[in-house]
Each structure stands twice: as structure tokens, then as C-alpha cells.
Structure 1
Amino acid sequence: MFFFTILIILLATKLAGDLSVRLGMPAVVGKLIIGVIIGPAIFSWVENSEIIDELSEIGVLLLMFIAGLETDIDELKRSFKSSTAVAIGGIILPFVGGYLVGTAIGMEPSHVIFLGLLLSATSVSISVQSLKELNMLNSRESTTILGAAILDDILVVILLAFVMSIYSGEEVNLMLVISKKFIFFIIAGLMIWKGAKWFMKWLAPLRVTESVISAGLIVCFLLAFVAEELGVAGIIGAFAAGLAISQTKYKEEVEHKLEPIAYAIFVPIFFVSVGFSVSFEGLGEHLGLIAVLSVIAILTKLLGSGLGARLTGFSTRSSLGIGSGMVSRGEVALIIATIGMESGLLNPDYFTILVIVVILTTLITPFLLKIIFRGQTATREYDDA
């Protein structure tokens, strides 16, 4: 049955991706939608399982690793000011929006704050693929989105730890949480500076088949592991690994050999698995709340992050594009929702509703990016350098 599941996923994603491109949309749109269609929500041709989850996680790690490989570190440094403004704007407005909606529907104060934090999360894995298809992954806009997503992840996790230490009844050492983030970025910085070069120099010459790509993947999974152990999302570790490898002479070879591996099987499974969380059962009475939360989730990120970009020198069009790239909550918000359930900060009655909202933000992101960036030339000049 497992092999049949893989067969259906690969065939469905390739056909859906091709149809999406023919209709003028990024291929990722079709791949996301087909996950809903063939998954439990509609036809149930494929079911989620532990092994699909694991393969999906590899897919998103490889996707972010490739993004890191294709990102210019100098541009990432120059975009720090813009990324910070985008990240902060993309936290404040969604938090306020979530807080107001939660208060209006009568949530407890702690649950209201948690909802605001959940809506403040960002996952740019889908945005990365969309920008890649639009040939804008090396643009100033893309670099700003990636930098903002890293900062967003750090700030939201720290704020979540603070809220849990106050409301959940669990003992959370806030200084420990912050210290672990700091340690991760020291390790990542060392890997980008010298560590990856040392690893590649040591492992690449080994007299075994495909030693270079194997060495690159070792660095990727090492930093992803370290990131998760230190309380940072694994995708941030994978992205940092890509940045590190991009500073070595093996960058082109790793990228050239990795893409066939990633896009042949792992990345398609990730895209389809996003739709597996969707369920339409018993949602009729909650459609109004889903609609309101979805609109709030989309507009607050779009405007909040977009305003941060506009204030740091981007054009209105580019600012809206950056805001669009921050809209997707993806797997980051799903992880936060699960933490909320386990810690008592999220009422189980709202879990499925929020999963649907997260999926909707993920589905709409490629559409927004395509519409806003259609025909635009990548920007590489820095007004705020």
C-alpha cells in the first residue's frame, strides 16, 4: 500500500503542477490543491502516515536547503534592516488581529494571546518554491522575505515561551530559551564562516560514490538537528546549511545534484502532505469564523509586513509582494497549534478551524505572489544599505 501511495502522490503532483502552469499559475498551487483532493478531505485515495510525515519533513528541509544555496549572503546582510522591519510588522498586526477576533468570540485571555501568536507565525517554504518558479529567488525581495522569516521564527518562539511560562502552568525558563537560540546562531555562524568548508574538504574526497552531495546533505541534516535540539525550527537550520555550503567551491555541484533528488520525490510529498490536514467534517457551523480568521490572517501579514518593507525603501508593488511572501503560516503554525493543544492554551474545539485557516493562507500565497510579481524584474539595488 505504501508504494501505491507514493505512486499516486508523484503522478498526481506532476499532472496537477503541469495543469497549474498551463493555467498561468505556479506549479506549487496545483500540487497543494491536489493534496486536498486526493487526501482525506475529498477522495481519500491516500492517507497520512508516519512515514509520509517523515518524508514530508525531509522534503521541506531540502527545499529550504536549496533556498540557502541560492541565497547571496552579502545581500542577506544588506537586507537586515528591511528584514527586521518586515518581521516586526508581520508580528504586530497579526497579533492584534488575532487578539481582537479572540476577544470578540469570547476566548479566555490566555487563549486570546496564544491565537495572536499563532497568527504571527510565518513559514516561507511555499513562498520559496513560488519565487523560484517566478525566477525571483535571488532578488532583493526574496532575500528580505527569507531574512524576515528567520527573525519572525525567533521572536514568535521566544514570545510563545514567555506566554507558556505565565499561563500554561509549565515551568519555562525564558533565559534558557533565549540562550539556546543564541547558541544555535553562533553554531550556524561558525558553519557559514569555516565549518562547512572544513566538513566538505574532509568528506568530499572520500573514495565513495557521490561523496560531494552526501557531504552537503550531512551538513544540512546536522544543522537541522542542532536547530531543533536548540528550539529553532529545523527549516532554519537547513537554510543556514545551504548558506554555509554556498560559501564553498562545492556549491554548484551540490545544487546541481540535489535538485533532482529533492524534486523527484521528497518535495512533492511535502506539498501534498499540506493538504492532508484538511477535513470538512462538521465545519458548516464554523464557516463564518473560518472566513473571518482567514481574512484577518491574510490581510494582517500582507499589510503588516508590506508596511515594514515600504518604510525601508521598497516600492509599493515590491512591498505588497514581500507581504504576500510572509502570508503562509505552513508547518510552523501547525506545530504551534499542536503545542497550544498540549499546553492547554488552545481549546480543542478551535484546533481544526485553525488548521483550515493555516492551510488557506498556504494555498493563497502562491496566487498572491504570481499576481503581484507577474512580469516584474528582480530588484537588486539597496536603498537602505
Structure 2
Amino acid sequence: MDFLGILCLLILATTLAGHFAHRAGIPAVIGEILVGVILGPALLNWVHLTTLVQTFSDIGVVVLMFIGGLESNLALLRKYLRPAIIVAIIGVIFPVVIMGLASRFFQFSWFESLFIGVIFSATSVSISVEVLKEFKVLDTKEGATILGAAVADDIIGVILLSIMIAMMGGQSGVAQTNLGIVLLEQVGFFIGVFIVIKWVAPYLMRLSDHLLMAASPTIMAIIICLALAWLAELVGLSGAIGAFFAGVAIAQTDYQHVVDVSIEPVGYTTFIPLFFVSVGLNMTFKGVWQSLPFIVVMTVLGVLTKLWGCGLGAKLNGFSRHSNYLVGAGMISRGEMALITAQIGFSAHLLSNDYYSDIILVIIVVTMIAPFVLKNAIHRAGQVTATHSIIEEH
């Protein structure tokens, strides 16, 4: 029963934090992350990342990305697929090379340095999606590019991680990864996604009208969402990716609005705030002073490698200067994807225990900086201009 009290405290705290963040002109997610920092091990130590809190957080990511998919324009995603792939590739190369080389100056081995680069090549678009939604910029060419690049980024990250674990040769009980099977499974997943969007989701949503249950279309949409999220995790991708495509699938049916207005209250009353809180709960300041130079350097590079790398990718596709900045800013956040990669690598002994907590701290600090940079980029690009560009293109 203690969990009910913790849940009550966190929902109250995130609601107030989000309110005052809005009043201060700060993205609401920052207030919610700070709740985790203040109430968690970093400061007051009242709340810990228990199994139940983590489970609610995981559901929060899935629901958030499902809503992001629901509110995305599939035609726009297709149109900006090529720019998204280029943005993702360059956005992976920059952190792998630059942060990998920087790690060598802090006496990491070449193998550890390379893995640190791989950790920071990951992008967690969940937080960017929330900021883009908050400022009504999700359904723009920049938003579509960020979403597409995040999907490609996730696939590249899984491949790089698979290669590194394979290079370990099954040490310490970690099974050697068959990269060919991983790639084949992921190709199969995306073929399955196409089938779901084209035929399965429309059929199931029409079928839901005949079910004698309250809110049956929403129930069916949730079933599709959870199924695709589970399948994505089964092939080594993030469940958030599966949830996003489930949202895209439902958006192509006549039930988009019904599902959207039903899902948002469920997500934002409980699950989504706990996802942002969990980011803060991962933070700890233990031993921070001894590692401060490493943390500062890696935090700065963590921001700049995505900002410059993904911005360069957008520039190569003919985007304007402000759009380059917006796309780069939208890819800065690392969040759960980098945390998961770091945890897997730590378990596989790709990263020593000495610097593991410092890496986690850098990931969280970079993730907290990302919404500020993204908000600044949105204001510079001009929300009205971005919206008008979509109307003109159609």
C-alpha cells in the first residue's frame, strides 16, 4: 500500500511543478524531472525507483509515444524519410567519434571509449515529443524529421550495441549476438508494421464497433499499441518505437480523434508524469566532485554532438538555418535509450564500475538541458512560420 501514497505524492508534485514551470515559461517536463531529482536519492531521498515506479514509467513512455504517433502526419513522415535517415546517421557518427576520442583523455581504454560514444549516440525522442506537442510543432517538417530520425537512430544504436557485445566474444556469460539474426528480426518487424498500418489496424478498429464494451475502440487501440511495443522489444528495439507506429496506424483510421481524446487523460494523469520523474530518480551526486571535469566535458559534448551533427544532417537536406537548429535540438535528449544502453553495457562489462554512475549523471543532465535548447530553437524558428510551411506544402 505504500506505493499508493508514493503515487499520490508524485502526481501532486508533478502537477504543481508542471503548473509553475508553465508560469515561468519553462517546458513542463523540466519541472517533472526536477520532482524526481528533489524527492529522489539525489536530494531528499524520499522516493526510490522501485519496480512499480519503473513499470509505471515504462508504460508512460509507451503511452507518450503512442499519442505522438496518433498526432503525426504519415504523409509528412514519408516525405521527410530521406532527411531523417541522413540526420540519424550523422547524428550517430558525431558522438561516437568525438565523445569516444574525448573519453581517451580521461584514461579510458579504446574499447570503453568506443562504448561511451555508442551510449551517447542514442536519442530518446520521448521528451522531445512532449516539448514539440506543448509548443504545437509536432506536425511540421522539423517534427517529422526528428521523429523519423529517432526511429532510424534507435535501429543504428541497437546494431552498434550488438556489434560491441559480439566483439566481447561472449565474455562474462553474455551470449554472442548474431547480428544477422538481429537485422532480420528488425526488418521483419517493420514489414509487420506496414501490414498493421495498411490492413490489420483498420480491420480491428472496425471490428471494435461490434464489441459490447464501453470505449471499445480505445480498448482495441491500446491492444494494438501494447502488442507492437512488445514486438519491438522482442526484436531488440525500444517499445516506444512500436507504440509510435501503433499510433500512426490508428491515425490512418476514422477513430483517431476518439482514441486521442480518450488516451490523453489516461496518460497525463498518471503514467507520463512518472516517466519524467523516473529520469530524475536516476540521478545521484555521489562522488560527483572527483569526476567533475569528466562530467562537465561529456555534458557539453553530449549536447553539441547531437546539435551540430543532426543540424548538419538537416543542412545537407536543404533545411534553413533555424530548421537545422530545431532538428539538432530535438535530437539532444538521451533519456531512457541511453540509460538502457549504459545498463546493458555495464552488465556486459563494456564499462567499468568506477565511471558508470558518472555516465548516468551525464545522460540525465544532458536530458534536462535538452528541453531548454529545444524551446529556444522553436522560438527562433517561429511556430507560426513552421505551421504555415506545412499548409503551403500541402
Query: Structure 1 residues 71 and 347, CA, compared in 2 at 3 Å: closer, same or farther?
Result: same
Residue in structure 1 matched with residue 98 of structure 2 by the alignment: 97
Cα distance in 2, alignment partners of residues 140 and 198 from structure 1: 30
Residue in structure 2 matched with residue 127 of structure 1 by the alignment: 128
1:283 CA drift (Å): 1.5
Q: Is the 8 A contact 1:290 1:353 kept in 2?
A: yes
Cα distance in 2, alignment partners of residues 293 and 382 from structure 1: 40
Could you tell me which of 359, 362, 371 is aligned with 1:357? 362
Residue in structure 2 matched with residue 163 of structure 1 by the alignment: 164
Structure 1 gap segments, 5+ residues each: none
1:105 CA drift (Å): 1.6
Query: Structure 1 residues 340 and 37, CA, compared in 2 at 3 Å: closer, same or farther?
Result: same
1:43 CA drift (Å): 1.0
Residue in structure 1 matched with residue 276 of structure 2 by the alignment: 271
Deviation sequence 1:99-126 (CA, Å, 0-9, x none): 1112212222221211111110101100
Residue 285 of structure 1 aligns to a residue whose secondary structure is coil
Residue in structure 2 matched with residue 190 of structure 1 by the alignment: 195
Cα distance in 1, alignment partners of residues 393 and 210 from structure 2: 42
What TM-score, normalized to structure 2?
0.95
Cα distance in 2, alignment partners of residues 204 and 102 from structure 1: 56
Structure 2 gap segments, 5+ residues each: none
Cα distance in 2, alignment partners of residues 12 and 313 from structure 1: 43
Deviation sequence 1:327-376 (CA, Å, 0-9, x none): 01110011100110111111111111111111011111110111121243
Q: Is the 8 A contact 1:168 1:343 kept in 2?
A: no
Residue in structure 1 matched with residue 348 of structure 2 by the alignment: 343
Residue in structure 2 matched with residue 21 of structure 1 by the alignment: 22
Cα distance in 1, alignment partners of residues 51 and 327 from structure 2: 34
1:91 CA drift (Å): 0.5
Residue in structure 1 matched with residue 331 of structure 2 by the alignment: 326
Residue in structure 1 matched with residue 235 of structure 2 by the alignment: 230
Matching of residue 302 in structure 1 with residue 307 in structure 2: yes
Residue in structure 2 matched with residue 285 of structure 1 by the alignment: 290
Cα distance in 1, alignment partners of residues 181 and 248 from structure 2: 26
Residue in structure 1 matched with residue 48 of structure 2 by the alignment: 47
Q: Could you tell me the percent identity over the aligned residues?
A: 42
1:39 CA drift (Å): 1.2
Deviation sequence 1:66-95 (CA, Å, 0-9, x none): 000011110000001210111011101111
1:205 CA drift (Å): 2.4
1:168 CA drift (Å): 4.8
1:174 CA drift (Å): 1.0
Counterpart amino acid of 2:87?
Answer: V
Residue in structure 1 matched with residue 63 of structure 2 by the alignment: 62
Matching of residue 147 in structure 1 with residue 148 in structure 2: yes
Q: Is the 8 A contact 1:78 1:382 kept in 2?
A: no
1:28 CA drift (Å): 1.2
Question: Could you tell which deviates more after superposition, 371-380 or 29-38?
Answer: 371-380
